[in-house]
Amino acid sequence: MASVKRNFAFNVLLVISNIVFPVVIFPYIARILGPQGLGNAHFALQFSKYFMITASLGIPIYGLREVAKVKDDVAKRSKLVSELLVLNFITAILSTLVYFCVIYYSTNIIEYKAYLIVAAIQVITGFLSIDWLFYGLEDFKTITIRSLVVRIVTIGFLIGFIQTPDDVMPYLVISILSITAAHIWNLFYAFKQIQFQLFNLAILPHLKPIFIIFLMNVCITMYTVFDTVWVGFLSSAAAVGLYTSAMKLCKISIPLVSALGIVLQPKSAQKFAANETQPAHLQTSFNFIIDMAIPIAFGLCILAPEFLMLLSGKAFLEATLAMRILSILPLCIGLNNLFGMQILSASGHDKNLLFSVFCGMILHVILNIWLVPMYEHVGAAIAIASTEIFVTAITYLFVFIRFKITFSISRVIRTVLISLGFIPIIEGLRYLHPDPALFLLLCIFVCFNYYLWIQWIAFKNEFIASGISVLKNKIS
């Protein structure tokens, strides 16, 4: 339990940086580059990211699960990681070749070509992204320190070099180099955990389980990464910028919602490997997601114009409706992580997860082709929100069929009813006509305290009780 608490503390610190970094830098970048410039850069980043993820096959998920099983055996761990790194290096080379063929021969992306060539670095170096090793070893300290250092340096470079709307290319280069720096850091620390080897490797046994996860990854990235690319193909760079702004603001909170789940994922793999079919920590994870995601979704939906105005600028207010539609994502993605990663994948039921995300991919493609040409960024928001809801429902159906695991519906209803109280609070504060920044801060402060007190006084929420207990121990 001590290790879980320590890892959770490090992961919370990582989550805070995941939230603070975009809040600090995104308003600055969005205001300088505008919807068009932001759209050009993020089209290239997301397009290349799709090839990077494709090249990774299913190694991040498979690697985490397998490392967790052999974490205490250095020889087995070293052999496993060496095999997966060599395999990933080969697929990265192949993916890079395909990537250059696509950008050379495709006529739909000529306007993005220069940006896409620079973004190829992300594809080439993607195999060095071995966070799965540290997650499998439950070494959250290394990941957190690396992320904090790289992000602080990146903020300095962005503020120093991004000054005009013409600085799209420098923004892209800095973004790519920050990702690459994190990969190199990973590799340096990985050699302290393993003894890398090039001989006597057995790559073939990994191919079948990885291939299933690879297909699953292709499907998932089609609607979680390629969504931005769909807007670029079927609409305009300005629409990409509007969609990116709404999506970024809605996804800022997702690391917070998923914080506990990421820490518990290696534990899930160990529990299911020991034939424990209903680990108690799954209900804890569900409760945490519900308690965090539902109030966040309400806040994002109600305060969408204020968030966009302050964090992106007046030019992005057209994305208000899209952001309100996307506000459901923290809840859906949090539950998908629980049902899909912590249960189905951790227990080895990757085929069930593959079926779920494949159906989601088909739905997403159909909705994009239908909605994006007519409704641009709003159509893309409807497509991704509908897809995430659909996939959440299917993954839970498989969880129930396989394990007969049920979760507390009363918890969901209770949290929704409490969160509905945000509406009169926020509308009441609007009558004060404060400065927009002050209004947003007031709303967050009042709603946060209202939610906390209701959960604690009326329902004795276990997470708040645990937090109070920790504070008391620290003080005493």
Q: Which two tokens stand for residue 145?
A: 């320190």
Q: What per-residue confidence (pLDDT) applies to 63?
A: 87
Q: Which two tokens stand for residue 74?
A: 């250095």
d(CA 171, CA 162) in angstroms, rounded, equals 6
Q: What per-residue confidence (pLDDT) applies to 2?
A: 46
Contact criterion met (CB below 8 Å) for 3 and 68:
no
Q: What per-residue confidence (pLDDT) applies to 269?
A: 58
**With a cut of 70, which residues of the chain have pLDDT below it?**
1-5, 8, 259-279, 433, 470-476
Residue 338 CB coordination number (10 Å): 27
d(CA 132, CA 81) in angstroms, rounded, equals 10
Q: What per-residue confidence (pLDDT) applies to 265?
A: 62
Q: What per-residue confidence (pLDDT) applies to 422?
A: 96
Q: How many residues are listed for the chain in this entry?
A: 476
The angle subtended at Cα 352 by Cα 348 and Cα 357, nearest 5°, is 120
Query: What are the domain boundaries of the chain?
Result: 2-420
C-alpha to C-alpha distances, 344 to 61, 108, 130, 402, 405, nearest whole angstrom: 12, 38, 22, 9, 12
Q: Residue 350: name the closest of 224, 225, 222, 215 by CA.
A: 215
Q: What per-residue confidence (pLDDT) applies to 4?
A: 63
Query: 71: part of which helix (H) or strand (E)?
Result: none
d(CA 194, CA 81) in angstroms, rounded, equals 8
Q: What per-residue confidence (pLDDT) applies to 208?
A: 86
SS3 readout for 324-385: HHHCCHHHHHHHHHHHHHHHHHCCCCHHHHHHHHHHHHHHHHHHHHHHHHHHHHHHHHHHHH
Q: What per-residue confidence (pLDDT) applies to 471?
A: 62
End-to-end CA distance of the chain: 21
Q: Which two tokens stand for residue 274?
A: 């020991």
d(CA 149, CA 142) in angstroms, rounded, equals 11
Ramachandran angles phi, psi of 330, nearest 5°: -55, -40
In this prediction the pTM is 0.75
DSSP sequence for 304-322: HHHHHHHHT-GGGGGGHHH
Residue 369, judged by CB atoms within 10 A of its CB (0-12, 13-18, 19+), counts as: middle
